[in-house]
Chains A and B, each alone.
Chain A
Amino acid sequence: MAGKPASEENRHLPNSLGIRGWVWAGRYTLERYLFTLHRLTGLGLLAYITLHLIANGTRLGGEDAWTNTMEFLSNPGFRVGEYLVVAAFIFHALNGGRLILQHLGFTLGKPKPPVYPYVDSMRRRRPITLAMLAVMAALLLYVLIEIVT
């Protein structure tokens, strides 16, 4: 920073959480953990799309290669993986919808003079988040029943 000798600045210990700051969340409540889950499901879906393209790409190797790939992917482990992909998609889509609305201040309400005990806008509108989670749980249950039966 301006006005300080460089040697003094260099002695300060960098203390950024870095990528750990996404995953690590201290004693926060729901929305902070939804942020972490949103990141993880986003990365998970990205990994799935990559694997999906690679798996479909084996079709270029001929019918045998495709059949072998399909046989390999039909084991129960991948069935569970597919359910997790659907679960990640449902969460990412619904939470993304909530975030799109809230990102422009919609559903967050108006500023209020702070009166103790303070309740911020996201906590005031938590029923919206809980409703989103309830819809997600219902969809996950529906998909699970569809897979099992």
Chain B
Amino acid sequence: MQELTFRVQRYNPGENKEPYLQEFTIPSSQGMTVLDGLIYIKENVDNTLSFRSSCRMGICGSCGMLINNFPMLACHSPVEELKTDRIEVRSLPNFPVIRDLVPSLDPLFAKHKSIKPYIIGPDMKEVEAPTSEYSQSREELEAYVQFAYCVKCGLCMAACPSVATDSLFLGPQPLGQAYRYCADRRDIGAKERFHVADSPHGIWLCHLAGACSEACPKGVDPALAIQLLKRAMVSDSLRLRKKKKPASLAQPPATSKPKIDVPEFTVTQ
């Protein structure tokens, strides 16, 4: 059986001043992911190894790590695709390290919260307690749905060279999500988000390296969202932004279809 060498970042705030790399040699198996390797180490070699994971299928965004110098979800990184038997795993850069491979995502969540990541509708009572669906065309949905796939894993923030030099920079995830809500026809809160984005540590610090979109494991393309947000903000300041009516409530169906009776199953003997 082929062996893999994992070089894993270790850092215990009570014991170490600086993080260091510890080497583990483990057996590889077909279809093995980097997360599988870390779980193997924790279960069989060193149970003090700390990392964060949950769904194991690229949905929860918990296991973001720097794998062979690229921010990736460990569960979404088959070892075979790395094309090497030496795997270096570090905690996500640009986030404080709590322990070993566990980054503190608090800065991300605080920034995300600041851009008001929710629908600000014309009638907030309707948003809070909906009485009907909003009508939305396919084109209106496609204007934002790509950006709604964000799982808040923080890989884009780890990839961004502007976040690297300015920890207060909002960064690709919050700015991308700001555009996601601004582009939503149910939302009328664009001006509030423009105000947050148009700050000294805001959108104008994005220099379009494109690393965020390259690192995103969900195809969200935050770089595109940020540039579209810039365009919307510039258009708005020049009073060229088209004003669109907010999405209206869909009329409830005039007649409801009768429910189909549950067939009675009888067993004939």
Contacts and interface: CB of A to CB of B under 8 A. Distances in A.
A15 B94 contact: yes
Given A12-B104, A108-B224, A114-B149, A18 B164 contact: yes
Contact of B214 (A28, A102, A104, A113): A28
Interface in A93-141: 99, 102-106, 108-116, 118-123
B179 to A, nearest CB: 9
Interface residues of A, number: 45
Chain A interface SS verdict (over half): loop
B146 A15 contact: no
A22 B211 CA distance: 11
A145 interface: no
A109 B68 CA distance: 31
Interface string B1-35: 00000000001011000010000000000000000
Contact of A14 (B96, B209, B223): B96
B57 interface: no
B79 interface: no
A62 interface: no
Contacts of A14: 96
Given A13-B96, A14-B96, A113-B142, 9 more contacts: A13-B11, A16-B93, A16-B165, A102-B208, A103-B208, A104-B231, A105-B228, A114-B220, A120-B213
26 contacts: A1-B110, A12-B96, A16-B163, A17-B164, A18-B165, A21-B94, A21-B164, A27-B69, A28-B70, A31-B211, A32-B210, A35-B207, A99-B208, A103-B208, A104-B231, A110-B143, A111-B143, A111-B147, A111-B224, A111-B228, A114-B221, A118-B219, A118-B221, A120-B214, A121-B213, A121-B221
